[in-house]
């Protein structure tokens, strides 16, 4: 329950609560309102696995944040994929992220 409330607080605080597939509003006896939402509000397209040679437009053997924009899922997960926080996704980092 604590986790659920944290997620809801994050959604409400971030202002990202938008149309989802399902929404349910719960009012507690104390007057507290809880809004539950589920379902993809903005599903990412299935672009398959990212391919370094296709995304690496400048040919340096790595994927920058700008280059990653061509693959929306990788772009949205860029900080996680960039293990050493150098702003580039190397071949090894990409292979690990794909696994
Ligand atoms: Ca590059
Ligand atoms: Ca990196």
pLDDT in tens, 25-47: 788 888 877 767 676 666 778 89
Q: What's the token pair of residue 65? A: 């944040």
Neighbours of ion ligand 1 (CB under 5 A): 56, 58, 60, 62
Q: Has this prediction a pTM greater than 0.85? A: no
DSSP H helical segments within the chain, as ranges?
Answer: 2-14, 52-55, 65-68, 72-76, 78-81, 91-98
Distance 95 CA to ligand 2 centre (A): 12
Q: Which fold has domain 52-98?
A: Recoverin; domain 1 (1.10.238)
E strands along 1-99, which residues? 22-27, 33-38, 63-64, 88-89
Distance 32 CA to ligand 2 centre (A): 44
Q: How far apart are CA 1 and CA 12, in angstroms?
A: 16
The answer to whether the beta carbons of residues 98 and 50 sit under 8 Å apart is yes
Distance 91 CA to ligand 2 centre (A): 9
Q: So where are the chain's domains?
A: 2-38, 52-98
List 89's β-bridge partners, or say none. Answer: 63
- Residue 21 confidence class, pLDDT cut points 50, 70, 90: low
Cα dihedral sign, 76-78-79-81: positive
Distance 1 CA to ligand 2 centre (A): 36
């Amino acid at each position: 329950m604590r986790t659920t409330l944290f997620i809801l607080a994050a959604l409400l605080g971030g202002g990202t609560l938008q149309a989802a597939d399902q929404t349910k509003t719960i009012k507690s006896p104390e007057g507290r309102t809880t809004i539950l939402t589920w379902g993809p509000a903005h599903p990412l397209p299935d672009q398959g696995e990212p391919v370094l040679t296709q995304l690496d437009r400048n040919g340096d053997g790595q994927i920058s944040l700008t280059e990653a924009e061509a693959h929306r899922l990788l772009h949205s997960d860029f900080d996680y994929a960039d293990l050493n926080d150098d702003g580039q996704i190397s071949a090894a980092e990409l292979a690990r992220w794909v696994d």
